[in-house]
């Protein structure tokens, strides 16, 4: 079990003295905002040393498709704390996103993104917004498992695991408890994705019962997102699967005033990475115009994480003072609200000149550490009773009439199996489909047992052999299981 203190530090890892971190300056506006951020950290007295590594575009274009060398991994793993500026993932096939790889390799399952309005000093339609998005960081469609299966159809696997759900949802509740927040909301689309998002919602309901002092609620993501964009003050902490969290944390940051204002902490059991939520904004690079605040906010979360909360507090209060004074970069500059438009360097210098001051109008921050976050390691549950009760064979076929396909694939069924349904893009087209339904060349043919309710793996192999002999192009098989007697696969739409 890991015990975290108020500032996200494992007690054994609290570094009261000098701490060595890994720094990557990244691409686009990355080097400018990193230089500005480091200048502020050192001026404020952060007890840091850093080792710099090269990651991103240059490494990709030098032929390393992961964007990072082995030596850089070694440095990141040794130092355990990584401050990273945004990087550019080159367009086109073959380049894997280094951000996603880093989060997954290092097990950084929790991505915490606070989005708070700074009204009336930064213009926003949402003056009292103060939302923290806790985004699951390793799973979902970001598993990055994609395949083209037919001429017309590609697929991406959405993977959601029980350990993944338990870890992120517990983190959200522990974070809420630690930060004295009152409510945790869960966003999913489990009315459609009953297995994947359904699991996330189910685990949310289970874990919520352990925190009776914290209000909990669930929203379907579409109306939840609309409500967040319109009435963000209705929310406090929101936990959600990876893709929704990625999209909605940008929306949430942007509606506080600018995507350039928000930082992000990626927390794992051993390592942590801190960054801005925005990207490398290549069009703004090299002009000394970018707002360094997002990365600075990430760096402040990092200081809290490594136990240097006094420095974190000093910088945050100086930053709030700077914004309150109206010293603004172009992205938040507004005639009548702002006083002076400054570049990246000048903004950093103003924050430095405000070190030691506390804001007069915005609430000053005070980071204290009373509650220790309790994040137990995942314990595997007892295995459920698992019964194989059918198979889905996905077939590449360019005909148009599902009745013809049904006749053809019925012949490949192994002994004691029979074709029970064909769907196309999830909608049932046989038996009794609609002639209006548009069909592609990718068909799911479901086989169920004639007698009894379990099948043997040999029947799958036999069916595949029959398909080969009869020239039926099977591009994928999925086993249909019951877990503890409950069918654990989707029905055909319209079935
Ligand atoms: P982006 O966030 O880089 O920029 C979008 C726009 O937001 C910019 O054009 C700019 O107007 C504004 N903006 C962003 N950051 C700003 C700042 N600090 N100050 C002022 N204005 C700012 O998004 P994008 O253009 O879609 O992506 C550019 C590149 O960044 C892509 O290669 C993408 O893969 C990468 N990216 C990296 C990360 C990361 O490293 N964590 C995250 C997202 C995107």
C-alpha closest to that of 423 among 399, 407, 440: 440
Nearest-CA residue for ligand 1 atom 26 is 279
* Distance (Å) from CA 41 to ligand 1 centroid: 23
Compute the distance from residue 278 Cα to the ligand 1 centre, in Å: 5
Task: Tell me the C-alpha distance between 319 and 313, whole Å.
Answer: 10
Q: How far is the CA of 27 from the centre of ligand 1 (A)?
A: 10
* Atom in ligand 1 nearest the alpha carbon of residue 283: 9
> CA 433 to CA 415: how far, in whole Å?
26
CATH fold of 125-256 reads Isopropylmalate Dehydrogenase (3.40.718)
Q: Strand, helix or coil at 355? A: coil
What is the model's pLDDT at position 369?
66
Ramachandran quadrant class, 403 (left: phi over 0; alpha: psi -120 to 50; beta: rest): alpha
Tell me which residue has its CA closest to atom 9 in ligand 1: 281
Question: What does the domain layout of the chain look like in residue ranges?
Answer: 11-108+259-374, 125-256, 386-487
How far apart are the C-alpha atoms of 79 and 179, rounded to whole Å? 27
Tokens read off for 120 = 């009336």
Query: Which atom of ligand 1 is closest in space to residue 98's alpha carbon?
Result: 40
Q: Does CATH place domain 386-487 in 3.10.580.10?
A: no
Choose which residue among 259, 261, 274, 348 to substitute to test ligand 1 binding: the one with the highest number of ligand atoms within 8 A of its C-beta: 259
Please tell me the distance between residue 435's alpha carbon and the centre of ligand 1 in angstroms.
Answer: 46
Pocket of ligand 1 (CB under 6 A): 29, 33, 86-89, 99, 259-260, 275, 278-284, 290-291, 294, 331
Point out the residues of the chain with pLDDT beneath 70. Answer: 1-16, 93, 369
Q: Give nearest CA residue, ligand 1 atom 41.
A: 86
Under CATH, domain 11-108+259-374 is a member of which superfamily?
Isopropylmalate Dehydrogenase (3.40.718.10)
DSSP per-residue codes, 428-477: EEETT--TTS---SEEEEEEEESSSS---HHHHHHHHHHHHHHT-EEEEE
Instruction: Identify which of 27, 33, 37, 86 to mutate to test ligand 1's pocket (most ligand atoms within 8 A of the CB).
Output: 86
Q: What is the pLDDT of residue 94?
A: 75
Which of 104, 278, 331, 344 has most ligand 1 atoms within 8 Å of CB, for mutation? 278
Q: Which of 19, 69, 36, 447 is nearest to 272 (CA)?
A: 19
Domains 125-256 and 386-487 agree in fold: no
Structure tokens at 142: 């970001």
**Residue with CA nearest ligand 1 atom 1:** 279
Structure confidence at residue 97 (pLDDT): 82
- For ligand 1, the distance from its centroid to the CA atom of residue 238, given in whole angstroms, is 23
Q: CA-CA distance, 440 to 463, in Å (whole number)?
A: 23
Residue 493 β-bridge partners: 427
Cα of 267 vs centre of ligand 1, distance in Å, is: 22
Distance 90 CA to ligand 1 centre (A): 13
Q: Name the closest-CA residue to atom 36, ligand 1.
A: 279
3-class DSSP state for residue 384? coil
Measured CA to CA, the distance from residue 136 to residue 157 in angstroms comes to 16
């Amino acid at each position: 079990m890991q015990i975290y203190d108020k500032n996200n530090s494992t007690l054994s890892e609290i570094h009261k003295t000098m701490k060595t971190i890994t720094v990557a300056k990244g691409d686009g506006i990355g080097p400018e905002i990193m230089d500005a951020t480091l200048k502020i950290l050192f001026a404020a007295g952060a007890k840091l040393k850093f080792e710099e590594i090269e990651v991103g575009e240059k490494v990709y274009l030098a032929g390393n498709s992961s964007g990072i060398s082995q030596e850089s991994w070694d440095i990141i793993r040794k130092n355990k704390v990584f401050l990273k500026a945004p990087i550019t993932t080159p367009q086109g096939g073959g380049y894997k996103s280094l951000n996603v790889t880093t989060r997954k390799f290092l097990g950084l399952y929790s991505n915490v993104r606070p989005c708070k309005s700074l009204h009336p000093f930064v213009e926003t339609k949402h003056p009292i917004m103060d939302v923290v998005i806790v985004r699951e960081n390793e799973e979902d469609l970001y598993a990055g498992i994609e395949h083209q299966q037919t001429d017309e159809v590609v697929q991406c696997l959405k993977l959601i695991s029980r350990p993944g759900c338990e870890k992120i949802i517990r983190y959200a509740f522990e974070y809420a408890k630690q930060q004295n927040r009152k409510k945790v909301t869960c966003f999913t689309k489990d009315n459609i994705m009953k297995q994947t998002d359904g699991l996330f919602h189910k685990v949310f309901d289970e874990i919520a019962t352990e925190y009776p002092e914290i209000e909990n609620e669930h929203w379907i993501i579409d109306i939840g997102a609309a409500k967040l964009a319109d009435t963000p003050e209705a929310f406090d902490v929101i936990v959600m699967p990876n893709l929704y969290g990625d999209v909605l944390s940008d929306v949430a940051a942007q509606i506080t005033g600018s995507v350039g204002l928000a930082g992000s902490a990626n927390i794992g059991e051993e390592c942590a990475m801190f960054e801005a939520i925005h990207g490398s904004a290549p069009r703004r690079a090299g002009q000394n115009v970018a707002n360094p605040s997002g990365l600075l906010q990430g760096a402040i979360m990092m200081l809290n994480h490594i136990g240097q909360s006094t420095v974190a507090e000093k910088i945050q209060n100086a930053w709030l003072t700077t914004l309150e004074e109206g010293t603004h970069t172009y992205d938040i500059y507004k005639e009548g609200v702002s006083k002076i438009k400054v570049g990246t360097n000048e903004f950093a210098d103003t924050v430095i000149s405000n070190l030691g001051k506390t804001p007069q109008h915005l609430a000053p921050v005070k980071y204290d550490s009373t509650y220790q976050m309790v994040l137990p390691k995942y314990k595997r549950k007892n295995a459920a009773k698992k019964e194989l009760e059918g198979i889905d064979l996905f077939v590449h076929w360019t005909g148009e009439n599902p009745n013809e396909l049904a006749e053809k694939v019925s012949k490949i069924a192994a002994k004691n199996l029979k074709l029970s349904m064909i769907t196309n893009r999830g909608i049932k087209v046989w038996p009794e489909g609609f002639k209006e339904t548009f069909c592609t060349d990718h068909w799911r043919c479901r086989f169920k047992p004639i007698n009894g309710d379990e099948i043997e793996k040999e029947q799958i192999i036999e069916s595949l052999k029959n398909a080969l002999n009869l020239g039926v192009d099977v591009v994928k098989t999925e086993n249909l299981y019951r877990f503890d007697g409950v069918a654990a696969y989707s029905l055909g739409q319209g079935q």
